Amino acid sequence: MERTRLMIEEAAPALKLLGDKTRLTIAGMLKNGECCVCEFTEVLEMSQPSVSQHLRKLRDAKLVKENRRGQWVFYSLNENYEAYDLVLSVIDHVSDQSEKLQELEKQGKRIQCE
Amino acid sequence: MERTRLMIEEAAPALKLLGDKTRLTIAGMLKNGECCVCEFTEVLEMSQPSVSQHLRKLRDAKLVKENRRGQWVFYSLNENYEAYDLVLSVIDHVSDQSEKLQELEKQGKRIQCE
DNA sequence: TTATTATATAAGCATATAATTATATATGTA
DNA sequence: TACATATATAATTATATGCTTATATAATAA
């Protein structure tokens, strides 16, 4: 697999963003596609403002992109992020976070964002 | 390639450690084998206590191990670190740091630790 | 319009982090 | 022994971080 080597200056900020349990979980949840903010708050079991502030950091760094649909905002990994390959690789070393979403769904706790 | 998936709780601290330019450079320098503290200070161009404190963090987390030989202390990646595979993968996405050592050597600036 | 829901932002606070300076420890040598 | 070199630790300080509470904005519905 060909890969682009990153400068330390590019890689370190990406790793710093992922070096937080909340943000790493968010990134893991996005592995299989976009998620709505309410899903993050549900899975992470933390306050909405706190989640929103983590999302802002990821968004400011361009690690994720947002997509508003009606009153909901969906986030997804930004495949144009300079360290996108690194992010994918990191996520791949972490246990699957989509299970948590599926679990919510199974319990009927998944909020409808459609 | 088989790999062990890490819990978020294991991966995040490792990424946090690597999410700092100084420590990421140190880890990158260790990709091809052990390095002496004086080599880190030389390459990083920062104070000895500062380097030493970064090394302590890496050591406390067991990401690296130390090996004293005479008055010199050599550090290397700890292949038994729980997130060792992740560390290797991350380092592999970063530009080669051993070039900096080679450059030092070429300039005759490499300190002799033998 | 007003009310409701989803999300974002701001302000405040407690803790964590990284650097500096000074000092301590360990090893080697005269 | 005394001194030099390599490294570690401690204390201090400035800045960054993450959370909470309160409030603002945006979209939708009544």
Structural domain contains residue A113: no
pLDDT confidence tier of residue A100, bands split at 50, 70 and 90: confident
pLDDT confidence tier of residue A99, bands split at 50, 70 and 90: confident
Q: What share of chain B is helix, strand, coil (3-state, %, to 5)?
A: 55, 15, 30
Residue span of the structural domain in which A87 resides? 8-106
Tokens of A19: 């070096």
Contacts of residue A109, defined as CB under 8 A and 6 or more positions apart, other chains included, come to: A42
Containing H/E element for B73?
A: strand B72-77
pLDDT digits (tens, 9 = 90+) for A6-29: 999 999 999 999 999 999 999 999
Mean pLDDT of chain A: 93
Structural domain contains residue B23: yes
Cβ-based contacts with strand C at under 7 Å: A 36-38, 41, 48-49, 52-53, 55-56, 66, 71-73, 111, 113; B 16, 20, 22, 46-47, 49-50, 53-54, 57, 68, 70-71
| Cβ–Cβ below 8 Å for B16 and A12 | no
Among B3, B16, B28, the residue with its CB nearest the CB of A93 is B3
Structural domain contains residue B73: yes
Structural domain contains residue B113: no
pLDDT digits (tens, 9 = 90+) for B11-32: 999 999 999 999 999 999 999 9
CATH of the domain at A45: 1.10.10.10
Structural domain contains residue B99: yes
Q: Mean pLDDT across the stretch B37-56?
A: 96
DSSP state of B2: -
Structural domain contains residue B66: yes
- Count of the separate structural domains present in chain A: 1
| Cβ–Cβ below 8 Å for A5 and B86 | no
Instruction: Calculate ∠ Cα A71-A72-A73, nearest 5°.
Output: 130
Mean pLDDT of chain B: 92
User: Residue A68 pairs with which residues in a beta bridge?
Assistant: A73
pLDDT attached to residue B107: 74
Structural domain contains residue B61: yes
Structural domain contains residue A56: yes
